[in-house]
Structure formats: structure tokens, C-alpha cells
Structure 1
Amino acid sequence: MNLDFTYQNPTKVYFGKTALDNLSSEFVSCGDTIMLAYGKGAIKKSGLYDQIASILKKSGKNIVELSGIMANPTYEKVMEGAALVRENKVDLILAVGGGSVIDCAKAISVSAYCKGDAWTRYWLKFEPVDNEIIPVASILTLAGTGSEMNGGSVITNDDMKLKIGRVFPSNVNPKFSILNPEYTFTLPKYQMVSGIFDMMSHLMETYFSGEDDTTTDYMIEGVLRSIMSSAKIAVKDPKDYEARSNLMWSSTLAMNPIMGLSKTQDWEVHMIEHQLGAYTNCTHGMGLAAISFPYYRYIYQFGLDKFVRFAKQVWGVDETGKTKQDVALEGIDAMETFVKQCGIVTSLKELGATEEMLPLIANSTVLLGGYKVLTAEEVLEILKTAYAQA
């Protein structure tokens, strides 16, 4: 662990079938007015909404609702929520849903009392938050982003065609998060497998960086193997509790800052996908999958030894009689085979991209990079390959 770090995670996690039983005790010290933030009605169909509303009423809370949070939350929606917070003097935002709902809640929490334009200050200029922050809590219904235990918030500005992620300090983390794997049982398969690749991508973004031998790398390899094993079971039986619980916790770990400690990190795949999402509004995990394979085949030689290690330790590739390049590429191939067996999309065409969009996406991508910092021209070549693949 050659890089110094400071680590703090204040989120309390209640995990398992009885996790919701802890909600009323948390409400004791959270103020009188709760904003209930959620998506487009899935929690009402499942009955979870009624359970939460009942607990809120028994706890004597005033309920303010923000519904209709979309899969890629917009700054316009954030401003709608911020106005509700101010008008109703909201004490806590309770986000019920997947990462998009939780991301939106965190964005509202830092934006409601922002002096000036929050988008410009907090997402474009990455200024420190110097205003009152409304506490956030979450009840997770979709595993993938890890937003339930971090300060991340990815928001889309439709007018500017920009999708930008910001990881705020730990004081923006949810104060508590309720994780019951059973809440993910009713998800469509498309959403489930998209979340699976999302969590894998979070791990790979930190893994594919540096040449040192860190404890973090061993942790990432172990969680990736757990995801692979549980994903195969969950695809066949979405109501297998052990598999879904393993995936839910793997997702939380994957985007918990602990999995990036003492790592330089990459995040180029995410930067490209964010702009893909800004133009297509595609499901995040699917966009990551479509970009990952041409991206990794493009940059693997710049971090060859780590890609060899990935192939051997995660995918069980036998290196006997093979070059390092052969082993590295076989690992990427094995991952692609696994992804397709899960039903994860790998084609930009299928995600709604057009050829005309590709240069716009490439030219608006924020270029970071781990083993290689790409140019806009190189991003465009990767996008063209992703567009042509099946």
C-alpha cells in the first residue's frame, strides 16, 4: 500500500430480511419532516411504499413526496426537489430505489441551500460545499451503483448534454441505508444484469491502475469472483436469496471508497459512458459493458502485467505456452463471454447510439485515464468499435 490515504465511512448499514424493522428507530432523531424520494412507481406496485408510509405516519412525521426520479436523474429534477426542501423545511431525504434515486437525493441535499448555481459550482467547478447539507438516508431496491454507502452523485444536464459524476466528502453519504435483498427480486432481468456489470466496472476502474501489489487488488479480485459466481445463479433463479444478497453486498463494496484505497485508479470507461448516457439516456451498466471491451483491448498493453494477473486470478486463464499478450486478451475474452451469457448488452446500436452521435460523445468526454490517457480521437475509435460490435 504505497499511497497514503485517509478513510472514513459514516453510513450505518442495516442488511437482510429484517432490515426495515430499524427504520422507526432511526426516525427518532431525524426531525419532523421527511422527503420521500422515489422513481416512477415500482415501490407502490411492490407494496414497499405502503410499508414505509405506515412507518412514517406511526413515527409522527410530515411527509413530502418527490416522485418520478428518472434512471439518469436530471439537474431539472434536482432543482424540483431542492425547491420542495426549502418550501417544506425538510429535515431528511429518504431515497427509496436504486442508485439514480439516491444520487438525485444527494444532489438535492447539497443544492437546496446552495448560494449560486449548484450545477456550475458543484458539478462543473467541483467547488467544496459551503452551505447547509440536508441529511440523506436510503432504502435500496436495485444493486449496482453502490450509492447507498458513498458520497457519489451523477447528474445529467439535458440543456448542456453533460452527464457528470461528483464524489462528495463523506458528510454527504447516506446517514443510514437499508438493504434487503428481497427488494431486488421484482426487478426485470435487464435491470438486474445491468447492475451486475455496473458493480464489476466499478471494481475494474480501480483495479486497472498502478504496478504495485496492494491489498486492495486482492480484495477486488475476490469480490469480482463472488459477483461472477452469484450472477450465474441469479440469472437462472432471480429469487435465490443467497445469490441476490451476495450481489447486493458486492455492489455496496464495489463503489465503497475502501475498494480504491492506495490506488491511482482509471475511470475512463465511466467518463465515456457518462457522455454516451447524456446523448442516449441508456441504462448505465449496459453502456459501460458496450464500451469496456473495445476500451480494454485498446489499452491493455500499457498495463500488461495487471491484465495478465486479471486473466489468471479472476478468470482462471492458464498461461502455459502463451505470451503475456495472449493471456491478457484471453481474460478479456472470458469476461465478454460471461457478460453475453448473462444477457448484458454490448452494442452501442442497441443502446440507441447513432453514428452521428459518436464524434459528439468523444469530443465532450472528460479525459482522465489510468494506464493511458486517451485523446478525443482515440475515444472516437473506441466508440466506433463499440458501435460495430454485436
Structure 2
Amino acid sequence: MLGNFSYYNPTKLYFGDNAQKHLGEELKNYGAKVLLTYGSGSIKTNGIFDEVMSVLRAAGKEVIELPGVMPNPTTDKLYEGVKLARENNVDLILAVGGGSTIDYAKAVSVSVWYDGDPWEKYYLRQEDPDSNLRIIPIGSVLTMVGTGSEMNGGSVITNHETKLKIGKIFGENVMPRFSILNPRYTFSVPLRQMVAGFFDIMSHIMEQYFSGEDDNTSDYLAEGLMRSLIHSSRIAVKNPQDYEVRSNIMWTSTWALNTLIGKGKSQDWMVHMIGQAIGAYTDATHGMTLSGVSIAYYRHILPYGLRKFARFATAVWDISAADKTDEQLANEGVEALLEWMKQIGVATEISSLGVTEDMLEGIADSTFIMNGGFKVLTREDVLSVLRESL
């Protein structure tokens, strides 16, 4: 492994079909007022809301509800949450939902006692919270897998006015203090959302995998995670109630983006940058925006990372290397990825997400260029990937 790094993750996880029983003991560590944030209300129909509320009441907490967190949380919703949390002087933010809800809770947590515009400071300028700022601690109860937000500092917010969707990686002081991971809580997620989450997991791993040429332990870990996800996802689309495969996928999702497998290497993240720009224009499901551009993107950068793509084919997809060049192997690996995407049912073209030809210039302008991958893209490269993805 090349490079130097430190590693620490402060989030405490409770995993399994009884994980929610630990919520009460965690709540003892925080004050009386809890901001309970969640999405469109599905947790009220599947019983999760009642379970969480009963624990909050038993712990003697005063609950301030903040529902309606959308799949792509907006600046307007952020300002609403900040106002509510400040007026009630909350002691803890409990996010019940998927990655968007947890991302949103992080954004609120660092914004409640900040006097300026959090969008400007944290997202446009990519600054960290001031050292003396009071940050509201957060906890999470995960109901949809994909983002890994339950054990990282990532937070993505969308500004519809400027058509920008930007992620910020906060530090350890913003990461969830605890996360409840019960695989059964994911069973009621609709099929399309479920498979979008699956691809989000895969994309997180590939963004960290397709960079660097050294013999890196992180890459071996990434290959194992990808193999596990591919195996379990094929079963899950046929039987979404299979606890074993859903638990494996939930665990894979967490480890795909809790910073472990990115240590000691550069990282790409261009699929996410392009996908987030698409999301800012269409509000399409995040995982689908990633799947929609991935094949075109990987075909575009494949010649610059030929050896890694060839390894991807053999180590992840079990493609035989006999009598094949690295280029042949690399292309077969990308084709195997495409075939798996079709098997689980994710988008393979962005026109199905509402993207039209006249949006492409604007999407390219909204795409942030990263420099950690095999090739640093130009704006024309981004446009080329978008056109090939239509």
C-alpha cells in the first residue's frame, strides 16, 4: 500500500433483527428534546414509526417531528429543519429512513447554530464547521440501504434554484453517534428503490476501486464486497424477503462507504459527480443516475486503467484470462457489469430518467471535475459520456 493515513470511525452500530432494542439505551446519553426526522411517511404504515416512538416515550423524550425529507433533500428543506431545531433547542437529531434522511440530519446538525448560510459555507465553499460551533449530535435508524450514510460523514444537498447537487464530507464530529441496522426494516422498500440502492453500493465500491496501480489491500477488500453484493442482489430481486441476503447487502453497504476501503489510495468519484448533476436537473433516484452513466463512463476511461479493469473481470466476475489480452478482458468485465445491471433492473440509459438532449450542456456545467481517477475529464469528456448514456 502507498501513502500514509489515519483511520478512526466513531459510529457505534447495532446490527441484526433485534437491533432496535438498543435504541433506548443510546437515548439515555442525550438530553430531553429529540428532533425526529423522516421521509414521506412510509414508516407510519410499516410499523417502524410506532416502534421508534414507543422507545422515545419510554425514555421520557420530548419529540419534535420533522417529516417530509425528500429523496434529494433541498436547501429549502434544510432551512426549515434549522429553524425548527433552533426554536426547540433540540439535544439530538434522530434520523429514521434511508441515506437522504441521514444526509439531511447531518446538514441540519451543523447548521442550527451557524449564523450564516450553510449552503454557502459547507457546500459551495466546502468549509468545515468552526471549531467552537455547537453541533447537534445525530443518531440513525436505517430503513433503506445504499448510501452508507449511517457510518460516514457524507451529506448531499440539492439547490433547485441554481441546479446544483453537492456533497460535503464532514468530519468525525458530524458522523452519527449510533446507528440501528435491522435488515427487516428494509423489507418494505419498493423494488425500484431497493435495486437503486444496490447499484449505489456497487458504485461506491467501484469509485474507490478504479484508481491506483499499487498492490493495495483495500482493493482486495473491495473485490470481496463486490462479489458478495452481486451474489446477494441476484437472490434479493427474486425474493426480497430473504433475510440472509438482505442482511449481507446491508452490511456490505455500510462497509462500502465508511472510509475503510478507500484508505491508502486515490479515488475517482466522477460517476457520482455526473450523476449528482443529473439529479439536480431531474430529481431522479440517485442510484439510477449512477447506473445510467456508469457504462459509458467506464468505457471512456478503460484504456487509461487497463490493468485494473482486466483484474476486475477476473477477480469480480470470474472471467477466464486464457488466451485474452488485457483489453479483451477489460471489455468483458464492463459487459459483465452491464449484464448484472440488466438482471437487477437498474437504469442503463439516462433518457429513461427524464434527461433530454437540451439538458446536456447544463448538466456538464453543473458537474464537478475530480482528479483521483485514471483520467481527469474535460468538459467535453463529460458531454461525451452524457451523450453516450442517453
Cα distance in 2 between the residues matched to 1:254 and 1:6: 18
**2:389 is aligned with 1:386:** yes
Cα distance in 2 between the residues matched to 1:57 and 1:83: 24
For 2:364, give the aligned amino acid: A
Cα distance in 1 between the residues matched to 2:227 and 2:288: 20
**2:190 is aligned with 1:188:** yes
**2:368 is aligned with 1:366:** yes
Cα distance in 2 between the residues matched to 1:289 and 1:336: 9
365-374 or 173-182, larger mean C-alpha shift: 365-374
Cα distance in 2 between the residues matched to 1:290 and 1:187: 21
Cα distance in 2 between the residues matched to 1:178 and 1:59: 16
For 1:72, give the aligned amino acid: N
User: The residue matched to 1:260 in structure 2 has which SS?
Assistant: coil
Instruction: Give how far 1:115 is off.
Output: 2.6
For 1:60, give the aligned amino acid: G
| Corresponding residue of 1:276 | 278
Instruction: Give how far 1:364 is off.
Output: 1.7
User: The residue matched to 2:34 in structure 1 has which SS?
Assistant: strand
For residues 38-77 of structure 1, the aligned pairs below 5 Å read 38-77=38-77
Instruction: Give how far 1:117 is off.
Output: 1.0
| Corresponding residue of 1:161 | 163
Instruction: Give how far 1:349 is off.
Output: 1.1
**2:237 is aligned with 1:250:** no
Cα distance in 2 between the residues matched to 1:132 and 1:304: 47
User: The residue matched to 1:258 in structure 2 has which SS?
Assistant: coil
Match of 2:234 among 232, 235, 242: 232
Instruction: Give how far 1:257 is off.
Output: 0.4
Cα distance in 2 between the residues matched to 1:29 and 1:205: 36
User: The residue matched to 1:169 in structure 2 has which SS?
Assistant: coil
User: The residue matched to 1:170 in structure 2 has which SS?
Assistant: coil
Unmatched tracts of structure 2, length 5 or more: none
For residues 77-88 of structure 1, the aligned pairs below 5 Å read 77-88=77-88
Instruction: Give how far 1:214 is off.
Output: 0.7
| Corresponding residue of 2:293 | 291
Instruction: Give how far 1:40 is off.
Output: 0.4
| Corresponding residue of 1:376 | 379
Aligned-residue RMSD, C-alpha: 0.7
Instruction: Give how far 1:321 is off.
Output: 1.5
Match of 2:263 among 243, 261, 264: 261
| Corresponding residue of 1:134 | 136
Cα distance in 2 between the residues matched to 1:29 and 1:177: 14
Aligned residue pairs, count: 387
1:155-206 alpha-carbon deviations (Å, 9 max, x no partner): 0011111000011001111000000000111111101100000000000000
**2:356 is aligned with 1:354:** yes
Match of 2:311 among 306, 309, 312: 309
Cα distance in 1 between the residues matched to 2:338 and 2:14: 34
Identity %: 54
Cα distance in 2 between the residues matched to 1:274 and 1:115: 28
Cα distance in 1 between the residues matched to 2:126 and 2:115: 14
Instruction: Give how far 1:114 is off.
Output: 1.1
For 2:366, give the aligned amino acid: S
Instruction: Give how far 1:327 is off.
Output: 0.4
Instruction: Give how far 1:65 is off.
Output: 0.6
Q: Which stretches of structure 1, 4 residues or more, deviate above 3 A after TM superposition? A: none
User: The residue matched to 2:94 in structure 1 has which SS?
Assistant: strand
Cα distance in 2 between the residues matched to 1:273 and 1:114: 29
For 1:39, give the aligned amino acid: G
User: The residue matched to 1:338 in structure 2 has which SS?
Assistant: helix
User: The residue matched to 1:291 in structure 2 has which SS?
Assistant: helix
Instruction: Give how far 1:44 is off.
Output: 0.2
| Corresponding residue of 1:208 | 210
Could you tell me the TM-score, scaled by structure 2's length?
0.98
Unmatched tracts of structure 1, length 5 or more: none
| Corresponding residue of 2:116 | 116
Could you tell me the TM-score, scaled by structure 1's length?
0.98
For 1:127, give the aligned amino acid: E
| Corresponding residue of 1:13 | 13
1:352-375 alpha-carbon deviations (Å, 9 max, x no partner): 111111111012211114110111
1:26-75 alpha-carbon deviations (Å, 9 max, x no partner): 11111100000000011000011011111111111000011000000001
Cα distance in 1 between the residues matched to 2:317 and 2:180: 32
Instruction: Give how far 1:330 is off.
Output: 0.2
User: The residue matched to 1:165 in structure 2 has which SS?
Assistant: strand
For 2:63, give the aligned amino acid: I
For 1:335, give the aligned amino acid: L
